Amino acid sequence: MTVTKDGGYVRTPLIAGNWKMNMDHVQGITLLQKLAWTLQDAKHDFERVEVAVLPPFTDLRGVQTLVNGDKLPVRYGAQDLSEHDSGAYTGEISGQFLAKLGCSYVLVGHSERRALHSEGAELLQGKIQAALRHGLVPIVCVGEPLEVRRSGEHVSYTVDQLRETLKGLSAEQVAGLVVAYEPVWAIGTGEVASEQDAQEMCAALREFVAQEFSSEAAEGLRLLYGGSVKAANAATILGQTDVDGVLVGGASLDAAEFANIVRFEHHVVA
Ligand SMILES: O=C[C@H](O)COP(=O)(O)O
């Protein structure tokens, strides 16, 4: 992350926990309570380092009630949304509904949805537009599979994926987005990309945004790294100039571990 002269950050770091299809609505409340208490006990400055959780849809009402009732400074969001706002789309969830539940964020194009639900660029463009229509910040996920990494084409592959996914957006819209670089081979495998890998890709994505949209868009855009992030490796990854946060899967299901990732500034590995 880029640090200013007074020790602040150029872009507010975002530590987001993607619970995936884990934690029912009762377990979700317990996890969030533990996380919030741990961070509040540690006097975490939520303005300095932002914290968000992305639970299953069925947990969102409970999360909203807890966050509002206890005035928790934690943001939350969903793992997907429909490109439509309402109508005969059985099983889909509208961004309008997510906004009404107080969501701030929504994941778009996570590699598990791209692979398991064949989500392609055109659909994802529609989902980004739907999120923006309802004031949700899309966390747009990109990243290469193992065979692409092995071929050495990972940067151009991932930049092209982002180019396709962001088609139709204005520079102002891109400036407010979050993009998560998640190499598919590092997700849930324990195989973490090196900090140099994370920096190389995030720098390339920011450069692409500067060229394709504007330098303001590139400066505003927050870039996260995701893939087997834990407390033990978070500080090193977050220390990279172009990495503005992390998207955490498995480790976000453990309140103490996730709290330690959030508190990465206190766990800097020499
Ligand atoms: O959305 C999160 C990513 O898929 C990373 O998951 P992971 O931390 O379990 O590897």
Q: Which residues contact 270 (CB under 8 A, 6 or more apart)?
A: none
Residue 100 lies in a domain: no
Nearest residue (by CA) to ligand 1, atom 3, is 249
Residue 99 lies in a domain: no
Ligand 1 contact, 109 CB (< 6 A): no
Owning domain of residue 184: 14-78+138-266
Ligand 1, pocket-test mutation among 23, 228, 237, most atoms within 8 A of CB: 228
Residue 244 lies in a domain: yes
231 Cα: distance to centroid of ligand 1 (angstroms):
13
**Binding site residues, as ranges?**
18-20, 188, 228, 249-250
Write the DSSP string, 33-84. HHHHHHHHHTT--TTTSEEEEE--GGGHHHHHHHHHHTT---EEEES---SS
Residue 6 lies in a domain: no
Asked if residue 269 has pLDDT above 60, the reply is: no
Instruction: Please report the atom of ligand 1 found closest to the CA of residue 250.
Output: 9
- H or E element at residue 124: helix 121-133
C-alpha distances in Å from residue 111, one per residue of 117, 137, 161, 172: 10, 18, 11, 26
Residue 83 lies in a domain: no
Residue 247 lies in a domain: yes
Tokens of 123: 């659909």
248 Cα: distance to centroid of ligand 1 (angstroms):
5
CA 111 to chain centre: 12
Catalytic residue numbers read: 110, 182
pLDDT single digits (tens) 190-199: 888 899 999 9
CATH of the domain at 23: 3.20.20.70
pLDDT single digits (tens) 74-121: 999 999 999 999 999 999 999 999 999 999 999 999 999 999 999 999
Residue 109 lies in a domain: no
Complex prediction ipTM: 0.99
Domain count, the chain: 1
Of the candidates 255, 221, 180, 262, which has an alpha carbon nearest to the alpha carbon of residue 29? 255
Amino acid at 109: G
Residue 119 lies in a domain: no
